[in-house]
Amino acid sequence: MPDTTPLAVCFGEGMVALVAATAGPLEGCRTFHRSLAGAEWNTAIALASAGIRTSVLSRVGDDGFGRFLTAELRDHGVDDSAVEVDGDAPTGLYVKELSARDDGAVDGTMHYYRAGSAAAALSPQTLTTPVASALLADAALVHTSGITPALSASALAAQEALYTQRHPDRLLSFDLNWRPALWRGRDEEGRRIVSDFAGRADIVFCTRTDAEVVFGTSDPHRLRSLFPRPRYLLVTDPNGAVAFDGTQTADSDALDAPVVETIGAGDAFAAGFLAGVLTGLSLTGSLARGHRIATRALVSTRDHVD
């Protein structure tokens, strides 16, 4: 892509997903399919598919899984030059257990194996390498989520550094992505931390389900009153989205599309909306682009679009 296109930098952990080949309890599954996962990495791939120049800022282990992840980024047109390689800590992974639904789709349950991963060692120093510094200086948008601050104290500090070292021409995007398993035993601290990041971002995404748990309401207009500062606020559910741009409001329905499994669709929706913002689309146009890309994540048990 030409360097004149806007640059989006996605900051967070990439993981290998081992997805059960068949629905049922893990103890009965003999075969798993390997794929790339991680909310911010899924968003990066979807942004690149939408024609946005995209880089990932992260860390992986010096292992086969880490090399697989960076190769996947490159294969999807995402720059991996700011993905550090850790010679000691491993690449994180999770196992996705599938359960069949009556409508023919499947539900996915994630089992994390990411404690002590290379990405847990993300820190403010990660942002100061020559490659990372150059990318951040050029970025029109930095995309973050509520997952990274839960990984470790140093990862929280790194995300805080992104917010405090703001550039006037750089948008900060935040996807709530509430993960109870990562905040277990410190739920109140987690709610306070992610609420603070949401309140300081320029663009905020949240599902109604997560918003109810974290903010105490799923009503889009009450959420807007809680978070007046972000220019854009997106509140989503499986049926559609309510979006705010300043005082402008738009409602949109999800597109009618076959559903195999829904994990990753929110990341794709965020990417489509962000691509619309970066290319100057209207609020309704950006919403429509988000829904179009989200449908591409619904048709498989992978977490990212192809």
Structure confidence at residue 294 (pLDDT): 84
CA gap 172, 189 in Å, rounded: 22
What is the DSSP-derived secondary structure letter of residue 229? Answer: S
Q: What is the pLDDT of residues 103-140, one digit of tens each?
A: 877 888 888 999 999 999 999 999 999 999 999 999 99
Catalytic option among 79, 175, 210, 267: 267
Structure confidence at residue 106 (pLDDT): 80
267 is catalytic: yes
What is the mean pLDDT of each successive set of 10 residues along the chain, which is 306 residues long?
80 95 92 94 95 97 98 97 98 92 81 93 97 97 98 98 91 96 95 98 96 97 97 93 95 64 75 96 94 71 50
Q: Which domains does the chain have, with CATH numbers?
A: 7-12+39-87+118-297 (3.40.1190.20)
Candidates 258, 256, 198; CA nearest to 232 is: 198
Task: Give the strand pairing for 7-11 and 53-61.
Answer: parallel
CA gap 3, 53 in Å, rounded: 8
Structure confidence at residue 279 (pLDDT): 96
How high is the mean pLDDT of the chain? Answer: 91
Structure confidence at residue 1 (pLDDT): 47
Structure confidence at residue 286 (pLDDT): 95
pTM higher than 0.75 for the full model? yes
By the 8 A CB rule, do 265 and 300 touch? Answer: no
Amino acid at 29: C
By the 8 A CB rule, do 271 and 76 touch? Answer: no
By the 8 A CB rule, do 79 and 90 touch? Answer: no
